[in-house]
Amino acid sequence: MKELQIKKQGKKYDVVIVGSGAGGGMAAYTLSKAGLSVCLLEAGSMYDPQKEIFQLKSPWESKRRGRATKYRPFGDFDACYGGWEIEGEPYTRENGTEWEWFRARMLGGRTNHWGRISLRFGPRDFKGYSHDGIGADWPISYDDIKPYYDKVDQLIGIFGSVENLPNEPDGIFLPPPKPRLHELFIKKGAQKANVPVIPSRLSILTKKLNDDRGSCFFCAQCGRNCSMAKADFSSSNVLIYPALKTGKLEVIANAMAREVLTNSEGIATGVSYVNKEDMLEYQVEGRVVILAASACETARLLLNSKSQRHPNGLANNSNVVGKYLQDSTGAAMGGYIPELFGRKRYNEDGVGGMHVYSPWWGDDKKLDFPRGYHIEYWGGFGQPAYGFGMGIESFNGKYPVNGKQKEAGGYGKSLKEDQRYFYGATVGMAGRGEAIAFEHNRCEIDPNVVDKYGIPVLKFNVKLSDHEVKQAKHMKETFKEIMHNMGAVITWGDDGPENNYGIDKPGYIIHEAGTARMGDDAKTSALNKWSQAHDCKNLFCVDGSQFTSQANKNITWTILALSMRASEYIIDEMKKQNL
Amino acid sequence: MKRRDSLKYIAAGALATGTLAIGCKTDEKKSDTTAAVPDKKTGLHRYEDEKKYEEEVEKMPDFFNAHEMATITVLTDIIIPKDEVSGSASDAKVPDFIHFTVKDQPKLQTPLRGGLRWLDMQCLKKYEKAFKDCTPQQQIEIVDLIAYPERAKGKPELAQGVAFFTQMRNLTVTGFYTSEIGVKDIGYAGNKPNQWNGVPDDVLKQYGLAYTEKELKECVSFS
């Protein structure tokens, strides 16, 4: 290695962005399209979905038949490279606490394999504290963000149905796909339990939206990135590569941001980063700095950006950075529908995800927990992958196969007959709900540990509260009722209080939010209503960190809308010479 | 995909670009530590550290010896034999899959090696021959003792054998049904561009189900 020094880029950009996921991608797109010069730092690779293709591969094209690896925990055909443990990039947890932290390390981040579930926050979701005295209100309302949700719907595309539900605002929808067979059973079973089932709202183009992208051809492999049609949203396909065509965007991949640089006035001047290819130190200058490295990484950057003017970390006079960390609650149950045994085969792939879902229906005045959750569903003829057919001994003795009572287990022609008989009858459901944002749930800098770049790492300290556990209890009670109404048999997930109703570990749902929350009061929030740091006017955070609360809705669509809104504000402020 | 089908989808605007990317050779990126390069063996794109991991697994010495592989082959073909619909486990190269799998998942090595020896010991005691050298009838007699967990309850001397056979059955079915032969057998009809027009009418009728007027009006339809 050449003599180590800090190399400064000659050029000063209008904007430097850290992170290329939903928030970073939207900012890069919006700003470069408006003619600003943008430098985007991405910690991972210069992923190209048009060259790195997993779509339409057959199970046998992987020796492990799609089983997960450390680098691709969602399966080795999954598009997202990164994982729960990244070599040389550790994190720690406070003793006695649990937190699972997933990180992507590629252009487009987790949007390369996300669930595509795109739910607008409703009016009540921005005013949780006003509603039930818990948590804090956002400094904005639904009316402030609605025009941006509309623009995102039209720019990126989403299918769904107009339902006029009070807290589930309708979007500008493409048509949804018809429910699958198991989803029709779910509809019947849920309706008997007074649980609503409506078409899902996924960011998949069921109809052509524009000439830049194709339309869905129903292979259900969005998680492999839709290299071929760009029919599902990934920041890589839909925002970054189109933005590169403007000539105003430069992407520096394999760039691990170290800290945000500030001057003696406390104004951000740029970002210092490690180039992972040559392991040398670089700095890039910008008039404005936008952090979108994902909620926890953004908090980490802020906390690691200490200076005389920002002794507590950048944008942290309020001392809230890293705090109010939330992840969606999660609990699931599954089994099979005996009525679907031995059923006719046909191509049931559909889109990559559920065609129906259940928005939150409860009245929290009548329940013992605040806020709520939505239900996601799955089942049917899934593509065979590692794990297929395992565990048949737990049910092939319980049900006659083609009229013949069998013994659990077995082998031979009889086993082949059993596998054919039971295939396509599985069903499952999971709740995804709002966890309350508590100040004590946090990530902070571990004083003892650095990563391989010498950047201090995060230490997590998160505990589930009673609210979340009671929500999981309600999920399990509801799922049991739906399963029973469908005539389904439960084979897993019927948990009780001894394991908190099977609630997933915090972080496991990968919807982190809250670590640089927005608010009107600079004493209790890091950002103002424009995603702009109170303490540093040319610094913005446009990923999940800005969320004051989470809602029972996956946060990506709101990240996209807020990032577009913040970017337009930046353009406006620059025109006015305020930035 | 057949050219005819692919042209149909290009015309329908399904694809983002005019050409299909399937099967296209990719350019190897200029060497940089995290560039993706297609794994020449599988054709799947892998970053450097993933590639290194795959190579490490490949380079591991074969775990099973010839006797064990021969036993595995006999066992997997008993578990998934040829029938009127499809071939056997060895037709679907399941032994190769198991051979790879124990290198990819080393924690399986001891249970499988131990289970294979357990099986051989049962046969040696009963028939004075290792499992693979017994007659088919003798092999089935032994398998019948351990293939049915309920049947073996109350027989603690068989418990390890039952656990082993269950593990072998799991690996065999997974290796079989993720092979080309197995995917065809099970009737999975997806993994190709198509038009989802809902549950077929005859299936709806069979289950006494129907789409609502709202669904028929607002959902994507392909006549």
Q: Each residue of A239-286: pLDDT tens digit?
A: 999 999 999 999 999 999 999 999 999 999 999 999 999 999 999 999
| pLDDT score at A171 | 98
Are A216 and B218 in contact (CB < 8 Å)? no
Residue A328: closest CA among A557, A84, A551: A551
pLDDT digits (tens, 9 = 90+) for A497-507: 999 999 999 99
Kind of pairing between the strands at A489-492 and A356-358 = unpaired
* Residue A376, token pair as written in the block: 């996601």
B167 touches chain A (CB under 8 A): no
CA of B55 to nearest chain A CA: how many angstroms apart? 13
Substitution target from B215, B216, B222, B223 for chain A, most A beta carbons within 10 A: B215
Q: Which string of DSSP letters, residue by residue, matches A450-503? A: E-TTSPEEEEEE----HHHHHHHHHHHHHHHHHHHHTT-EEEE----GGGGGGP
Dump pLDDT digits (tens) for A307-322.
989 999 999 999 999 9
Q: Tell me if A415 and B143 make a contact (CB, 8 A cut-off).
A: no
* pTM for this predicted structure: 0.94
Nearest Cβ partner of B174 from A45, A56, A65?
A65
d(CA A145, CA A139): 11
Averaged over A408-418, what is the pLDDT?
98
Tell me the HSE value of A507 on the side-chain side, using a 13 A CA sphere.
21
For residue A15, list its beta bridge partners: A38, A288
Two tokens at B16?
Answer: 């983002």
Residue-wise pLDDT tens digits, A96-111: 999 999 999 999 999 9
Whether residue A52 and residue B45 make contact (CB cut-off 8 A), yes or no, is yes
What band does B24 get if pLDDT is binned at 50, 70 and 90?
Answer: very low
CA–CA gap between residue A498 and residue B143 (Å, rounded): 39
Q: A58 and B81: CB-CB below 8 Å? A: no
Whether residue A152 is predicted with pLDDT greater than 70 in this model: the reply is: yes
β pairing state of A92-93 and A103-104: unpaired
pLDDT score, position A5: 84
Distance CA A290, CA A532 (A): 9
The CA distance from A81 to the nearest CA of chain B, in Å, is 9
Question: Tokens at residue A190, please?
Answer: 């849920």
Q: Out of A59, A62, A214, whose CB is closest to B13?
A: A214
Interfacial B residues in 90-119 facing A (CB < 8 Å)? 97, 100-101, 104
Q: What are phi and psi of B183, to 5 degrees?
A: -60, -40
CA A190 to chain centre: 26
Note whether B182 contacts A384, CB cutoff 8 Å.
yes
pLDDT for B4 equals 52
Using the Cβ of B213 and the Cβ atoms of chain A, whether some distance falls under 8 Å is answered with: no
Token pair of A493, please? 């997930």
Q: Give burial (CB, 10 Å; 0-12/13-18/19+) of B212.
A: exposed
| Record: contact A45-B47, CB cut-off 8 A | yes
Instruction: Provide the number of CB pairs (under 8 Å) joining chain A to chain B.
Output: 271
Query: How confident is the model at residue B95, as a pLDDT?
Result: 98
Alpha carbon of B132: minimum distance to chain A alpha carbons (Å): 17
Q: Where residue B26 falls among pLDDT bands split at 50, 70, 90?
A: very low
Q: Which of A87, A179, A95 has its CA nearest to residue A377? A: A179
pLDDT at A364: 82
Task: Name every chain B residue with its beta carbon within 8 A of the beta carbon of A219.
Answer: 190-194
Q: Which two tokens stand for residue A98?
A: 């649990």
Report pLDDT for B35.
Answer: 47
DSSP letter for each residue of B23-47? TPPPPPPPP-TT--EE-TTT--EE-
CA distances from A100 to A90, A118, A410, A467, B71 (A): 12, 23, 39, 20, 41
Q: What is d(CA B187, CA A346) in angstroms, rounded to the nearest whole number?
A: 8
Q: Which residues pair with A330 in a beta bridge?
A: A432
In angstroms, the CA A578 to CA B175 distance is: 63
Is A343's CB within 8 Å of B203's CB? yes
In the block, tokens 């080795």 appear at: A76
Cβ proximity of A79 and B47 under 8 Å: no
How, if at all, do strands A198-199 and A456-461 pair?
unpaired
Nearest in space to A142 (alpha carbons), one of A110, A180, A171: A171
Backbone angles phi, psi at A420, to 5 degrees: -65, -40
Starting at the earlier edge strand, list the strands of the sheet with A373-379: A198-199, A356-358, A373-379, A426-433, A329-336, A489-492
Residue-level pLDDT at B28: 33
How close A538 comes to chain B (CA, Å)?
A: 32
Amino acid at A477: E
Q: Which two tokens stand for residue B139?
A: 């092999």
Whether B178 and A206 lie within 8 Å, measured CB to CB: no
B19 at A interface, C-beta within 8 A: no
CB atoms within 10 A of CB A366: 6
> A407 vs B22: CB contact, 8 Å cut-off?
no
CB atoms within 10 A of CB A493: 20
Closest by CA position to B220, among listed A232, A178, A181? A178
Which residue type does A126 have?
A: F
Q: Which two tokens stand for residue A307?
A: 């200076």
- Check whether B12 has a pLDDT greater than 90: no
Sequence length of chain A is 579
Question: Can you say how many angstroms the Cα of residue A418 is from the centroid of all Cα atoms in its chain?
Answer: 38
Summarize the confidence of residues A520-539 as an average pLDDT: 98
Asked if residues A478 and A111 have their Cβ atoms less than 8 Å apart, the reply is: no
Contact B101 A64 (CB under 8 A): yes
B179 chain-A contacts, CB cut-off 8 A: 59-60
Q: How far is B125 from chain A (nearest CA, A)?
A: 23
- Is residue B41 predicted with pLDDT exceeding 60? no
Residue from the list B16, B34, B203 with its beta carbon closest to the beta carbon of A344: B203
Using CA atoms, how far apart are residues A260 and A189, in angstroms rounded to an integer?
Answer: 53
- pLDDT at residue number B22: 40
- ipTM for this model: 0.94
Smallest CA–CA distance from B77 into chain A, residue:
A412
Which of B 20-59 lie inside 8 A of A, CB atoms?
20-22, 26-27, 32-36, 42-45, 47, 49-50, 53
Q: Are strands A329-336 and A456-461 parallel, antiparallel or unpaired?
A: unpaired
**Chain A closest CA to B142's CA: distance in Å?**
12
Rg (CA), chain B: 24
Overall average pLDDT of the A328-337 stretch: 97
In terms of C-beta density within 10 A (0-12 exposed, 13-18 middle, 19 or more buried), how is residue A271 classed?
A: buried
Name the token pair of A108.
Answer: 């487009």
| CB-based burial, A72-104: b 16+ in 10 Å, e otherwise | bebbbbbbbbbbeebeebebebeeeeebbbbbb
How is A43-95 classified by DSSP, letter by letter? SSB---TTTS--TT--GGGSTTTT---SS-TT-TT-S--EESSBTTB--EE-T
8 Å CB contact of B188 and A345: yes
Q: Are strands A38-41 and A6-18 parallel, antiparallel or unpaired?
A: parallel
Q: Nearest CA of chain A to the CA of B97: how many Å?
A: 7
CA distances from A551 to A49, A102, A124 (A): 31, 21, 9
Ramachandran bin of A569, using left for φ above 0, alpha for ψ from -120 to 50, beta for the remaining angles:
alpha
Summarize pLDDT for A545-562 with one digit per residue, the tens.
999 999 999 999 999 999
Range from B33-42, B123-132, B176-185 carrying the lowest mean pLDDT? B33-42
User: How far from chain centre, in Å, is Cα B78?
Assistant: 16
Give percent of chain A above pLDDT 90. Answer: 97
In chain A, the percentage of residues whose pLDDT exceeds 70 is 100
b/e per residue B111-134 (b: at least 16 CB within 10 A): ebeebbbbbbebbeeebeebbbbb
pLDDT at B32: 36
* Nearest CA distance, A187 vs chain B (angstrom): 11
Judging contacts by C-beta atoms under 8 Å, the chain A residues touching residue B101 are 64
